[in-house]
Amino acid sequence: MVIEDFSWMLSALRRKLFYIVTVFGAGAILSFPFMGSLIKKIEYDMFWRINLPAKSDVAAQLVDISNNITLISAAVNNSEATQNLTRYSAELLNISQNLNQYNPSLVFLTPLEVLMLEFKMSIIFGVILVLPLILYYAYGGVKGRLKKMVNVNRSLLISTVLAAIVLFLLGASYAYYYMLPFFLNFIYQDALSIGVNATFSIYEFINFIVIVTVTLGLAFELPLLMTLLVRFGVTSRQTLAHYRKHAYVLLLIIAAWITPDPTMFSQIMVMLPFAVLYEASLLVMRMSGK
């Protein structure tokens, strides 16, 4: 009897592992051809709001002047004047090209950098796709023990999952559409002020964008975490309110870790929603009598 039960459990485990590997592999393989388009989309979303120098019209005018000088030099019979005009035309053309060079760009530093980036992103997509299935199997395995430890019903579980998804999307959207473009514009303008062009390694750039976006998405789970801690009696609203200053210091440290910017601008942009969410959680718990 024990052997039969063990054999049945092993068979069920193998079946679950097969489903997990299948979903993960299908997600990674099918998403791989689209990773190049996704990289272009991220590049566009991060750079389109950057305040680029408005010099394209000036550059075009210089090109026209250079072409006119070239035509004039061809009509001049004096060889020395022709050489001088040709030199001036080339210098104007070079200036026009330099005016357009200060645009942020992505480059690859190793031959396989782009390919490995696409592969890594497809792996991440496969993990995201299979994660709900893993959580479902994990919940099925600990459901009985979890109900004995805490009072968890289906409505609470569903509302918790939905709240976690909404909060994660809010945090990721805030990082992707607001904080990161602001931060990139800041470092671009700072580099431009000393005449340095912003050129990023495509692997490091996309990796940075993904890490910050996911980290901010997870950080926005703070209200849900606080609510669950109070709900299950781990702490109380009064305790969280009393130690809010300590919490702000901790959140500021987390903000400094998330943003490598040595100034306070991006740290404040990360810290501010943390503080708002913390106070909003305390207010909601107070209104609900928790």
> Which residues are 200's β-sheet partners?
106
Do residues 168 and 220 touch, judged by C-beta distance below 8 A?
Answer: yes
**What is the structure's pLDDT at 122?**
93
Q: Is residue 61 part of a domain?
A: yes
Q: Which residue in 224, 240, 247, 237 sits closest to 285, CA to CA?
A: 237
Mean residue pLDDT of the chain comes to 76
Q: Is residue 155 part of a domain?
A: no
Q: Is residue 194 part of a domain?
A: no
Q: Is residue 69 part of a domain?
A: yes
Convert the pLDDT of each residue in 143-179 to its tens digit. Answer: 666 555 556 667 777 788 888 888 889 888 988 888 8
Q: Which domain holds residue 84?
A: 56-99
Convert the pLDDT of each residue in 66-95 to its tens digit. Answer: 677 767 766 666 666 667 667 766 776 666
Question: How much is the pTM?
Answer: 0.69
Indicate the pLDDT class of residue 140, thresholds 50, 70 and 90.
confident
Q: Is residue 73 part of a domain?
A: yes
Number of domains observed in the structure of the chain: 1
Check the CA dihedral 216-222-228-234 and report its sign. positive
Convert the pLDDT of each residue in 185-236 to its tens digit. Answer: 877 777 777 767 777 888 888 888 888 888 888 888 888 888 877 777 777 7
In whole angstroms, what is the distance from residue 44 CA to residue 190 CA?
20
**Which tokens in the block code for residue 13?**
């485990």
Q: Is residue 217 part of a domain?
A: no
> Where does residue 262 rank: exposed (0-12), middle (13-18), buried (19+ CB within 10 A)?
exposed
Q: Is residue 187 part of a domain?
A: no
Q: Which residue in 211, 216, 238 sits closest to 226, CA to CA?
A: 238
Q: Is residue 94 part of a domain?
A: yes
The CA angle 143-149-150, to the nearest 5 degrees, is: 85
